[in-house]
Structure 1
C-alpha cells in the first residue's frame, strides 16, 4: 500500500498526518520540530515509508537536508497553491493543515519548490548581513542630521560614509553638552561602518574568485552585490527549461486574467525573489538608458557632447542625452576590438566605455 505523509511545520513543533492511497487517515500526531524526532516517529509507523511533503517556509532547508540525509524523498510544495487549497476547509488548525497537505500529495495537484544549496544560502546570509549593517549606518546618519538641524547645523546633501564622522564631529566640537549627546551616536556609527567595510570586502573577494560573477559584472550596472544576488537566486541553472522562464521566476513577466471574452494583461507579478528584483533594477535602468549609436564611425562616437540639440528645447537644449551614464556607448557585437577582447561574442549588442575606445584608437587598434 502507498502512503502519503503531510507535515505542517511551525517554529517549535510539526503536525504529521499519514494517509493511504484511498485517502483514509492512518496515523497523525504532533511532535517537536527536530529531524531526529520526526524520523523516529515515521519509522515507528512503517520503516518502508520513504516520501514526505510540506509547504515551503522558514524551516524548509533544515528539514529538507535533514530528512534527505535520513533517506527520505522530500517534496517541498509551493505555499501559495497549498494556501488556496487549504482555504476550502472550514476550520484552520495545524491538524487539518497536515491532513490537507497529505491529500494534496495523494492527488498530485501541487507545484514542487526547488531548495537552494547550502552555499547559496551562505552567500545570501552574507549579503543580508551587509545590507542590514549598511541600513543601520544610514539610520544613524539620518538621526544625526535631524538632531543637528535643530541647532541650525545643516550638512551637505551628499556626504560619503567614510568622511561623515570627520565632517560631523567638527560641527559641535565646541558644545560640551551636545558632544555628550552625539558623540556616542558617532562612535556607534563608526563601529558599524567598519563592520560594513569588512563585509563589503568579503563580498568583493567572493565575487572576484567566481568566474561567473566576473562575467556578470562585465554588464553595465552590474556590480559585486548584484552579481552575487543573481547567482545565489538562480542557484542551479539546469532547473530552468529555457532562459525565458528565468524572467517569470523572478516575477518580471506580466500577469494575465482571462475568462471568456475577457483577457486583461496586468503589470508584472513581482512574485520572485525580492533581493534579485531590487538588485536587478539599477542594472536594467543602466541598460535602458545607454546612448545608442549605429557604428563606431559615427561622428557622435567621437564627441560625448552632441553638436545638435535635436527636438529638445528649454532647459534640455544643448545638454548631453544621458550625462549620468559615465560615457557608455552601445557598440555592435560584430565589430572587433574592445568588445571581443572582453570575451563577448555572438549576436546582439555590447556596452563599451568611450575612454576604452579612445585608448584603443591611440594604440593603433582597429575597431
Structure 2
C-alpha cells in the first residue's frame, strides 16, 4: 500500500490540509486548528507530509517526525508555480501536495533545536549591530549640526564623541547634551550585549569539533563557522562544493537561448547572512595579502578587479568548507586535487 501524501499549508491558527486517497482517488481538503494538528496525525498511518519552509515549519517538522511521519520542507518559490488561479490556503496546500511529488524537487533540511538556538543568537547579534550602527550614525549627524566633524569608522568615532560633548558644554543646551550622553551610554550597553552573545557562541564552539576544523581555513572565523553548521547541518545533502556555493549565491547567473549561454554576475540567491560572512572573510584575506602571500590570489589580482577576486575567494572558501565537512577532512593549505592520468 502506498503511503499517503499530505500537503500542509501552515498558519498561525488554522492549517489547511490536502491529500488524495490512493484506493478511491477521492480528494480531501480539511482545515485543522493549531491545537488539533498533532492529534489529527497521531491517529493516521505514517505518511509523507510536505510543507513550505516558512515560519514554524522546522518545529512542526520535528514534532510530526516524532509521530513516525516523513516530513519534507520545500522553499516557497518552488511551490508558487503549482498554485492554480487565485491564491488561498486550499490552493496552497494543493500546490504543496503537487510540488513534493516532482522527481527533481529540492528540499530544505529540517533543523534541530540546537541548530535553531545557535541561529537565534546570530539573528539577535545581527539586529543589535544594526541598532548600534543606526545609533552611532544618529549621534554623528546630530553633532555635525553643531559643528563637530567626527572621523569615519565606529571605533574612531566612539573615541571622539565624549570629547566632542565636553567641547559643546556652554554652547549647546544641557537637555540636548544629556540626551546625547544617554544615547552614548546605551551604545556601551549594546557593546556588552554583542560581546555576551559572542562569548556564548565561543562556549558552544568548544564542544563542536567541526567548528574548530572550519576555523583553520583562512577567512573563516567563529561567526562563519557556527552559522554554517547551524544553517546547513549535514553537508552531505549537497552533492558537490559547487552546489554548496550555488546554494549561497556565489556562482554566476546564467542567461541563454538558442544554445548560447551568457554568464552574468553572482546570483545572490540563498542565505544572505552566510554569503555576507564569507565575503567579509574573503575580503580580509585579500586585503592582508601583503603579509601573507598566496600565489593563487596574486595571480588573480594581476588581471581581475579587487571585488571579483574577493568573490572568487569566497566561492573557493565555500567549496573548501564543503570538502572538510562532507569528506571529514582536515584543512591542508598545500592540498592539491589529484588529477587522473589517462591510460
TM range (shorter): 0.7 to 0.9
1:27 is the counterpart of 2:28: yes
Q: 1:197 to 1:42 in 2, by over 3 A?
A: closer
Q: State the alpha-carbon separation in 1 of the partners of residues 279 and 118 from structure 2.
A: 20
Q: 1:8 to 1:159 in 2, by over 3 A?
A: closer
Give the alignment of 1:224-243 within 5 angstroms: 224-243=222-241
Q: State the alpha-carbon separation in 2 of the partners of residues 202 and 165 from structure 1.
A: 30
Cα distance, 1:79 vs. partner?
2.1
- Look up the match of 1:282: 280
Give the alignment of 1:171-186 within 5 angstroms: 171-174=167-170, 175=172, 176-186=174-184
Give the superposed CA RMSD.
Answer: 3.0
Query: Conserved in 1, the CA contact under 8 Å of 2:5 and 2:47?
Result: no
1:51 is the counterpart of 2:48: yes
- Look up the match of 1:170: 166
Correspondence for 2:145 among 107, 128, 150: 150
Q: State the alpha-carbon separation in 2 of the partners of residues 274 and 13 from structure 1.
A: 31
- Look up the match of 1:13: 14
What residue ranges of structure 2 are gaps of 5+ in the alignment? 296-329, 338-343
Give the alignment of 1:215-230 within 5 angstroms: 215-230=213-228
TM-score of the two chains, using structure 2 as the length reference: 0.75
Q: 1:347 to 1:181 in 2, by over 3 A?
A: closer
1:71 is the counterpart of 2:59: no
Cα distance, 1:119 vs. partner?
1.7
What residue ranges of structure 1 are gaps of 5+ in the alignment? 295-341, 350-367
Cα distance, 1:98 vs. partner?
1.2
Cα distance, 1:281 vs. partner?
0.3
Give the alignment of 1:300-311 within 5 angstroms: none
Q: Per-residue CA shift, 1:176-199, capped at 9, x if unaligned?
A: 232233233223222222222222
Correspondence for 1:121 among 116, 119, 122: 116
- Look up the match of 2:196: 198
Instruction: Report how many aligned residue pairs link the two structures.
Output: 297
Q: State the alpha-carbon separation in 1 of the partners of residues 257 and 212 from structure 2.
A: 46
Cα distance, 1:24 vs. partner?
4.0
- Look up the match of 2:341: none
Q: State the alpha-carbon separation in 2 of the partners of residues 22 and 106 from structure 1.
A: 18
- Look up the match of 2:128: 133
Query: Conserved in 2, the CA contact under 8 Å of 1:133 and 1:192?
Result: yes
Q: Per-residue CA shift, 1:201-239, capped at 9, x if unaligned?
A: 223333355343333333333322122223323321222
Query: Conserved in 1, the CA contact under 8 Å of 2:21 and 2:27?
Result: yes
Secondary structure of the corresponding residue to residue 227 of structure 1: helix
TM-score of the two chains, using structure 1 as the length reference: 0.71
Cα distance, 1:154 vs. partner?
1.9
Query: Conserved in 2, the CA contact under 8 Å of 1:78 and 1:110?
Result: no
Query: Conserved in 2, the CA contact under 8 Å of 1:23 and 1:103?
Result: no
Q: Which has the higher contact order (CA 8 A, sep 6+)?
A: 2
Secondary structure of the corresponding residue to residue 110 of structure 2: coil
1:39 is the counterpart of 2:38: yes
- Which one has the bigger helix percentage? 2
Q: 1:220 to 1:108 in 2, by over 3 A?
A: closer
- Look up the match of 2:77: 80
- Look up the match of 2:253: 255
Q: State the alpha-carbon separation in 2 of the partners of residues 286 and 344 from structure 1.
A: 20
